[in-house]
Structure 1
């Protein structure tokens, strides 16, 4: 295999990236590498890291840039904090261009970082606390979550915990381990409260945010992912939040937006679709709930539900709880 093919093979497993050291080992000279960069065939993405398919890629993907940052800082470098969460698929944090990378003591002091997007942290993590995620070194999910909740405020911290639990990256019993990991550290008192509020049944950060807003408004839901069935046991739907007593369910963001960037953003305003025995309705800012638009038992999800801002959520829950049924349909509310 000639040197060009060897570089292509290496780069194919690294999002199209090659380090200067890897290219030298493949048989390229320093002059060869500099020439390829000068003529635009290789594009520098980080210190001594190049994108070898630069002409076919206008804007490298986020994972490619994260990998470049980690590769540029040597074999001990690994992603931490929000960048590690991003690699693991843990949602709940605001989008950021920053790439958080850690190096142990002396290595961090010697490192030279020219990219303003790379945030270098001097942290010691034993080998067992670092794993490969798509070939990129990152802290394990449990440690990632523990370090994030010490730094973030309540809504973002609980959203991260819920997301990690929902994806099965940590288990409920891991919460006690996380509490032990953060003991005595700055921010630990608040973080222990976040651990107590975590619930892996939340399927998106917007669901978590809506639940917390209801708790703050003293109308906490008594069920999450509540199944609603008719007298024959037919599943009518599943509500993100439920209040069994008054028979109220709420869909925090709808199936159509669960997978979008907006759904993953903790700063996005909740979209609320309500359903009660009186029928489903939607709530818009500053307005009372609309009259039922479908018969009871039909889906309360809407393709473009109105936006309900934070300070209106709890009041709207109270309004929905006060609605009276318009007919005699019976629903069976799951346990």
Structure 2
């Protein structure tokens, strides 16, 4: 019986569930003391090894939610993590919501668990990787009310690119946030969202260009030769002066194979008559740097054509 419960919860069970299955308190304590069960949250344990495909982080999130009862569900950055929405700094915090009255007596027993007195309608909560969580669109709506522009737009871009939020769902967000603090700014972030940005770094690079007065006229610009053969795709493009900006993230551009592929693609683009600029995360921390470099490249190309 307990095995079935554990299977449904990714190997996680509560003390109450173990007692209901016929185990004594002494047996549960012994299982924990001798390492057969691993305590993950208050009165919540991992039974045996983590099932295949379930990371220790996911087990901890599941345990935190399960330990707080049937009304608990992941919210905010934890919900975004479950949905695979990028753009927020990494954190060990686990954000869990409970309705107002249920949250008052609750104690997480773990300093990493942050409790929120939030109520959500039934259609705003779903199961994500086996964990009750706010839906992707509700998660994004609540986060952009709390985050500043660059992070908020990055979240929106990631949700759209990964298709966990559709363009039609994006149109419902103004209604979801109506009348809430931060709604005016958040509606502005929605107008800047793009489903073509493949990473938060691309979003930040684009916003720096927009703020610096040199917005790209195309994202994911395709460059082809006279026979239509695809030579490469640039992250941000200015088609008139034939300038491309690449956002070089540490994950997708790390390693010898990725480095070799980047160099070969850049050579093809340069030989096709394009200027290729490359920017990193640290470049986006300087408001003036990226637009200045882009503006100079555009100016040089314009002089070359005159």
- TM-score (ref. length: structure 2): 0.86
What runs of 5+ residues in structure 2 fail to find an aligned partner? 255-261
1:164 positional shift? 0.6
- The residue matched to 1:219 in structure 2 has which SS? coil
Matched, 1:180 2:175: yes
**Contact 2:77/2:143 (<8 A) preserved:** yes
2:186 equivalent among 185, 188, 191 = 191
CA gap of 1:249–1:299, structure 2 versus 1, over 3 A, is closer
CA gap of 1:228–1:113, structure 2 versus 1, over 3 A, is same
2:9 aligned residue: 14
1:269 aligned residue: none
In 2, Cα distance between equivalents of 1:307 and 1:187: 27
Q: How many residues align?
A: 293
1:197 positional shift? 0.6
2:271 aligned residue: 295
Q: How does 1:81-160 map to 2 (within 5 A)?
A: 81-160=76-155
Matched, 1:72 2:49: no
1:319 aligned residue: 296
CA gap of 1:34–1:307, structure 2 versus 1, over 3 A, is closer
1:78 positional shift? 0.2
CA gap of 1:63–1:308, structure 2 versus 1, over 3 A, is closer
In 2, Cα distance between equivalents of 1:253 and 1:161: 20
Higher helix share: 2
In 2, Cα distance between equivalents of 1:121 and 1:307: 32
1:26 positional shift? 2.3
In 2, Cα distance between equivalents of 1:133 and 1:306: 32
**Contact 2:201/2:247 (<8 A) preserved:** yes
List per-residue Cα deviations over 1:30-58 (Å, max 9, x = no partner).
111112122222121111101222699xx
Matched, 1:309 2:283: yes
In 1, Cα distance between equivalents of 2:241 and 2:253: 30
- TM-score (ref. length: structure 1): 0.79
1:287 aligned residue: none
1:238 equivalent among 219, 233, 239 = 233
1:173 positional shift? 2.8
- The residue matched to 1:190 in structure 2 has which SS? helix
What runs of 5+ residues in structure 1 fail to find an aligned partner? 1-5, 261-272, 282-291, 329-335
2:43 equivalent among 38, 48, 55 = 48
Runs of 4+ in 1 over 4 A off after TM superposition: 297-302, 305-308
1:257 equivalent among 251, 261, 264 = 251
In 2, Cα distance between equivalents of 1:198 and 1:307: 19
1:294 positional shift? 6.3
**Contact 1:249/1:274 (<8 A) preserved:** no
**Contact 2:232/2:269 (<8 A) preserved:** no
CA gap of 1:222–1:324, structure 2 versus 1, over 3 A, is closer
**Contact 1:221/1:242 (<8 A) preserved:** yes
- The residue matched to 1:257 in structure 2 has which SS? coil
List per-residue Cα deviations over 1:78-113 (Å, max 9, x = no partner).
000110011001001110111100001111112112
